[in-house]
């Protein structure tokens, strides 16, 4: 379970004390505030705070004295224009602060996104919980034969059972030793000094959970989501990105719709690709050999146009 009853009670008490404010409020985001959305087996993501809404993007773009809103239609048009033309700074006027609980190997991919502010749970100061990510059977997949950076079909039968058993047993044994090393009692019952937590943690596997607060502006969050909610991203980070997408959709619906249309659903074409498309539209039967593209480029091009 991702949250203890005490932690849930703290969240409930925060949500029970609404305050009046003059600041921009997104009703959609207010519904998410503080609540933990479960991800993977022990993880979650929850919104701690946010700044701005769709109108704040327009307000910044127009450098307005008021809310910056003209009409919903007008604002949506402006937001789509900004997204289409990579006029990104108005999106930076919105920010969100998330609390994320995630396996360490996912955190390593996540932290590569440098344009955020992070504060991580200290395993020098605190003792990590005995919580490890163990994939569901359908996520326990074989190495992909076509993509070195991907996975194929789910393992089955004895192999799946053996792998699951090793994952659980190795994690459990590593944690037993972690506890034994930091404890003040030796296995024979005598007193011991206890190894520093900052050293004992090096024995723990990468599927143990960590937590952090992660604050980012909307422009850089869209960049993160574009890469990590994409089918090419590893499943274990993609499920976090998918959960965040649902929040952003409610927070800034117009900006999210433009992002989905131009970034998630859109494609980028090279000049060679544009030339090929023009030739195809003119009726020419273009092949990879006559396209001027490499085999990989052509495969991706065909993947888009069929
Ligand atoms: C499917 C996938 C596979 C990947 N595989 C690998 C891998 O095998 N090995 C690996 O090491 N990484 C890998 N990565 C990580 C990837 O290379 C990027 O590090 C990561 O996606 C963060 O992207 P970013 O730098 O654009 O984001 P951010 O750090 O958020 O930066 C956003 C933008 O700000 C600018 N910026 C930020 N900091 C700097 C800087 N110091 N100098 C110049 N410009 C800066 C850049 O324009 C950048 O695009 C992978 C990512 C994905 C999505």
Write out the DSSP string of 216-271: EEHHHHHHHHHHHSSTTS-HHHHHHHHHHHHHHHHHSHHHHHHHIIIIIS-----H
* pLDDT, position 58: 95
- Give the residue-averaged pLDDT of 151-172: 90
Q: Among 27-36, 146-155, 261-270, which stretch is predicted with the lowest mean pLDDT? A: 146-155
Check whether 301 has a pLDDT greater than 80.
yes
- Give the residue-averaged pLDDT of 48-76: 87
Check whether 198 has a pLDDT greater than 90.
yes
Q: Which of 84, 151, 228, 279 is catalytic?
A: 228
CA of 112 to the centre of ligand 1 (A): 6
Ligand 1 in reach of 225 Cβ (< 6 A): no
Higher pLDDT, 17 or 116: 116
For all residues of the chain together, what is the average pLDDT?
Answer: 93
Check whether 74 has a pLDDT greater than 60.
yes
CA of 177 to the centre of ligand 1 (A): 36
Ligand 1 in reach of 115 Cβ (< 6 A): yes
Ligand 1 in reach of 112 Cβ (< 6 A): yes
228 is catalytic: yes
- Give the residue-averaged pLDDT of 35-58: 97
Strand partners, 96: 50, 216
220-240 pLDDT, tens digit per residue, is: 999 999 999 999 999 999 999
Check whether 1 has a pLDDT greater than 60.
no
Calculate the alpha carbon distances from 174 to 121, 177, 211, 286 in Å: 20, 5, 20, 57
Rounded-to-integer distance, Cα 112 and Cα 87, Å = 24
pTM of the model: 0.94
Local structure of residue 141 (DSSP, 8 states): E
Check whether 245 has a pLDDT greater than 80.
yes
Instruction: Quote the distance between the C-alpha of residue 65 and its chain's center.
Output: 35
* pLDDT, position 175: 97
200-225 pLDDT, tens digit per residue, is: 999 999 999 999 999 999 999 999 99
Higher pLDDT, 259 or 68: 259
Ligand 1: nearest atom to the Cα of 233 = 1
Ligand 1 in reach of 272 Cβ (< 6 A): no
* pLDDT, position 152: 78
Rounded-to-integer distance, Cα 240 and Cα 224, Å = 11
Check whether 68 has a pLDDT greater than 70.
no
- Give the residue-averaged pLDDT of 51-66: 91
């Amino acid at each position: 379970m991702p949250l203890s009853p005490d932690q849930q009670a703290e969240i409930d008490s925060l949500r029970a004390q609404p305050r009046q404010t003059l600041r921009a409020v997104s009703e959609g985001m207010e519904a998410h505030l503080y609540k933990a959305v479960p991800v993977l087996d022990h993880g979650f993501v929850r919104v701690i705070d946010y700044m701005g809404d769709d109108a704040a993007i327009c307000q910044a773009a127009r450098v307005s004295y008021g809310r910056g809103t003209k009409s919903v239609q007008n604002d949506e048009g402006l937001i789509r224009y900004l997204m289409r033309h990579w006029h990104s700074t108005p999106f930076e006027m919105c920010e969100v602060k998330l609390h994320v609980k995630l396996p360490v190997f996912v955190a390593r991919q996540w932290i590569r996104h440098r344009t955020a502010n992070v504060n991580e749970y200290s395993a020098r100061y605190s003792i990590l919980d005995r919580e490890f990510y163990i994939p569901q059977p359908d996520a326990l997949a074989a190495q992909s034969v076509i993509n070195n950076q991907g996975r194929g079909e789910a393992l089955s039968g004895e192999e799946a059972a053996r792998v699951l058993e090793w994952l659980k047993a190795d994690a459990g044994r590593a944690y037993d030793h972690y506890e034994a090393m930091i404890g003040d009692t030796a296995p024979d019952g005598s007193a011991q000094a206890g190894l520093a937590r900052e050293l004992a943690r090096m024995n723990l596997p990468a599927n143990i959970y960590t937590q952090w607060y992660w604050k980012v502006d909307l422009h850089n969050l869209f960049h993160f989501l574009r890469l990590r909610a994409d089918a090419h991203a590893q499943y274990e980070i993609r499920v976090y990105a998918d959960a965040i997408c649902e929040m952003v959709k409610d927070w800034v619906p117009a900006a999210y719709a433009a992002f989905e249309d131009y970034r998630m659903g859109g494609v980028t074409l090279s000049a060679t690709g544009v030339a090929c498309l023009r030739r195809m539209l003119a009726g020419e039967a273009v092949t990879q050999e006559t396209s001027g593209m490499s085999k990989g480029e052509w495969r991706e091009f065909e993947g888009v146009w069929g």
